[in-house]
Chains A and B, each alone.
Chain A
Amino acid sequence: MHDKTLTELAASLSAGECSSRELTESLLTRIDRLDGEINSFITVTPEQALAAADAADAARARGEAGPLTGVPLALKDIFCTTGVKTSAGSKMLDNFVAPYDATVVEKLKAAGTVSLGKTNMDEFAMGSSNENSFYGPVKNPWDGTAVPGGSSGGSAAAVAAGLVPAAMGTDTGGSIRQPAAFCGITGLKPTYGRVSRYGIIAYASSLDQAGPMARTAADCAHLLGAIAGHDLRDSTSVARGVPDYTAELDAPLSGLKIGLPKEYFGEGLDADVEQAVREAIRVYESLGATVREVSLPHTHYAIPAYYVIAPAEASSNLARYDGVRFGHRCDAPADLTDLYKRSRAEGFGEEVQRRILMGTHTLSEGFFDAYYKKAQQVRRLIRQDFLHAFDEVDVLMGPASPTPAFDLGAKKDPVSMYLQDIYTIAINLAGIPGISVPAGIVNGRPVGLQILGTHFAEARLLNVAHQFQQATDWHLRRPALAEESL
């Protein structure tokens, strides 16, 4: 059953070919036997999962099943879950059991899905390789010497290894799309404000957005429909109806206008990755799409602007971890300042401390205008680049990452790690949606094609991704680990 997509499993459950309990038990066994090799889970919750599976089976017996009732999945350990540890990959929250559910979790429970546990991640979602986790790095299921990408590396690896058919991630600068690309799965970052941030541990609040990671675009369409929507508990969530994201999946692509940003095909792009992406674009041409080059002239400024805005917002968000109300507290504090300083120095890892220092510095007296205000001005220019491009074309396409997954330990310098996110980071600054779909394999490591649309164009992106997956089979390729049957 582990080789089926979420859409196929939902159909099997609906047809009575298997029960949610059977499915849940089988995947829990796989996690138990195989996750030691990749470390994709921080917490597995068999008792809660089996109880939820039984409840789903009972609901189905009563004739009350919805399309996702009984479907198993996993949650990045950044979503607060009542009664289950929520660590954000940090020592700071190693002892934190949330007193409430995130809105995403609440909605997934209401849809009848079964969470098998909480997946590994870069600490507080800060990283592009999943090497910044307090719980150790995640290994890429395709190649144990490669990173899975980050920060939603555990979610991507768990899906790729066939431990769960889908997992929830969050994306602040590429943290859904880049690990999806590195692990050969499909990952969607929705429009900013489309999915509630309530109960998602905050990193950079004007950029954070949750989304689905699964095998196919159709799977992501089902899940987005379940988690999207307005939420009064998130002041930045957008009051706008949620369409049926599966309704347009089969629409033909004839006449689709694709733009290729010339800045996304320049220096630094691996030649094999470029070849795979260009081959994917030829597939679209064969489906009736037209292709033209466009320009996003401020692309070069996206990483500098992001590394002002995100650390500034992080330094403010992470001020709440003070060793008083929850989280790590140092032993025997001499006074209140000592309690704050040692609890925070002990609880936060190196990358998190680096970003707190960076953000505190740029927000401090005398620097605010030169850094934060300037970056917000550049952010407007970056958004305008995209809006101008979408006046001319329906979607933009390019690589999700300049290279396939790199080796564990290969990027020790923070700036070289940051530059990995060149094709994903501007999308968060502009607030638009983006999806990464499998589009090739280079030296045993997957390549992701990124497709971008204008604000709230998720249904169009999912349609465009789905049509590619009807014409190709890259999304069905699986690493040896996922082929292992127990």
Chain B
Amino acid sequence: MALEHADVLRAAHLARLGLNDDEAAHYLDDLGRILAMVDQLQALDTEGVAPLAHPLETTQRLRADEVTEADQREAFQRCAPAVEQGLYLVPRVVE
């Protein structure tokens, strides 16, 4: 499946990575070769093979719906770029 410039820009937008046209062009070449390598998978017949997500095939464990964590907002916000009165600051979203 050949990759095009627009595919790279689309993936960059979906991943919220700010790439200009030149940077996207730079990645196009490498990604095309990686995808060509990955496309070897298509040669293998996997009809009826169940996908494997966890190598030991364990399932998610459930726990009781109880509060287990204390409030650590101050500690967690100490590494934030911008906070005020316990809130994370971002550019205005709603006018």
Contact = CB atoms under 8 A, between A and B. Distances in A.
A431 B61 contact: no
A340 B40 CA distance: 34
B2 interface: no
A348 interface: yes
A305 interface: yes
B34 A358 contact: yes
Kindly state the interface size class of chain A when it binds its partner: 35 or more
B30 interface: yes
A354 B27 contact: yes
A98 B12 CA distance: 28
A340 to B, nearest CB: 4
A336 B14 contact: no
Q: Would you call the interface of chain A mostly helix, strand, loop, or mixed?
A: helix
B49 A380 contact: yes
Nearest to B24: A357
A305 to B, nearest CB: 6
Given A338-B91, A341-B18, A356-B15, 4 more contacts: A298-B44, A304-B40, A345-B19, A374-B41
Interface of B: 1, 3, 7-8, 10-12, 14-19, 23, 27, 30-31, 33-35, 37-42, 44, 46, 49-56, 58, 60-61, 63, 72, 75-76, 78-82, 88, 90-93
Contacts of A362: 38
A333 B31 contact: no
A383 B18 CA distance: 38
Contacts of B31: 354, 357-358, 361
A307 interface: yes
Interface of A: 95-99, 191-193, 206, 232, 235-236, 238, 298, 300-301, 303-305, 307-308, 315, 319, 322-329, 333-342, 344-345, 348, 353-354, 356-358, 360-362, 364, 367, 370-371, 373-381, 383, 413-415, 418, 429-432, 455
B79 A356 contact: no
Contacts of A319: 15
A374 B16 contact: no
Contacts of B8: 357, 361
B56 A238 contact: yes
Contacts of B60: 235
Nearest to B10: A364
A364 B18 contact: no
Nearest to B39: A304
A415 B34 contact: yes
Given A99-B72, A324-B88, A361-B7, A193 B15 contact: no
A225 B82 CA distance: 41
A26 B60 CA distance: 46
A322 to B, nearest CB: 7
Nearest to A380: B52
Contacts of B79: 95-99, 325-327
A415 B16 CA distance: 25
Contacts of A371: 38, 41
Given A341-B17, A376-B52, A418-B37, A99 B81 contact: no
